[in-house]
Amino acid sequence: MALINIMYMALSNLTILITGATSGIGEACARRYAAEGARLVLWARRTDRLEALAEELRSGGAAVLTQTVDVTNRPAVEAAVAAWPPSYQTVDVLVNNAGLSRGLEPIHEGDYTNWDEMIDTNIKGLLNVTRSVLPAMVHRGSGTVINIASIAGRTAYRGGNVYAATKAAVKMLSDSMQIDLNGTGVRVCNVDPGLVETEFSLVRFRGDGERAQSVYKGYQPLTGDDVADVVVWVSTRPRHVSIQDILITPTDQATPTIVHRTP
C-alpha cells in the first residue's frame, strides 16, 4: 500500500491575530495556536483576563502580545495595529472571533440597544479589524482570514432575528472576500459553529446563569476546543488549498433549534 504524503503548513513563528480572545472559542484558539509555536496577538476588552491568559501561554514558551481593544471602536483598532512592534507587524492569520448575542425577543419587541450592540460588534467590528489587517496581506500575496459566524446565519429561528441577520452578514462578507481577494493569494474561511458551551448564552441572557445553563442540558454540546481544532486545521492547509466554508455542530444538533435531548 502506497503511503499518502499529507502536506500541511507549519505555524511556528507565524503571527496570529485573534479577537475576543479571553473566553470560549477565542481562548481555545489562542491555546491551540500557542501549542503549534505560533506568535500571538490577542485582543479583548477585559484586560485582567487577557493578561492572565497571556501569562499562562508565555509560561509555556509562547510569544504573546496583548492589547485591550474594543473592535467596535475603529480609531482604537487602527491605533492598536499602528502600535505593533516590528516582529508582530506581519499578520499571517486573522481569526475574527469577537461577537455576541443579546436577547431572544420577537422582533416587534426588540431592544434597540441590543440590536446596536450586535450589529456594531458582529458586523462593523469584523469589518474594522479586517480592513486594518487585510491590505498588508494582499500586498504580501499571502494570509488567511477566518471568520467565526454561526449556524444561526444559515437558518432563521424564533427570537434569533437580528443576531441571525448579523451572522448571515458575516457569511456573506466571507463569500464576498472570496471574490474580492481571488488572485491575491489570501485565503478566507467562514466557520459556522452550532451550539458551543461557552459564555455565549450567559452574555445573551445578561448573566442569568440558570437560563444560560439550560441551553446545554440533555445533550453534549461542542466545546471551544472542538471549534479551535477546526480553525487551526484550516490554517495549516498547504497554500494551494482553501477551505472556504465549514459548518460544525454537536452530533445531537440538526438545526439551530432541533436538538435531540435526553431527560
Strands (E), the chain: 15-18, 39-44, 63-68, 93-96, 143-148, 186-193, 245-248
3-state secondary structure of 117: helix
For the chain, state the CA radius of gyration.
18
Residue 172 identity: M
Closest CA to 243 of 141, 130, 147: 147
- Residue 143's contacts (CB-CB under 8 Å, 6 or more residues apart) are 91, 92, 93, 94, 134, 136, 137, 185, 186, 187
202 burial type by CB count under 10 A (0-12 exposed, 13-18 middle, 19+ buried)? middle
Q: Are 25 and 193 in contact (CB under 8 A)?
A: yes
The count of residues in the chain is 263
3-state secondary structure of 179: helix
CA distance 215 to 171: 24
Of 8, 163, 216, 219, which is the active-site residue? 163
For the question of residue 163 being annotated catalytic, the response is yes
Q: Just list the catalytic residues.
A: 163
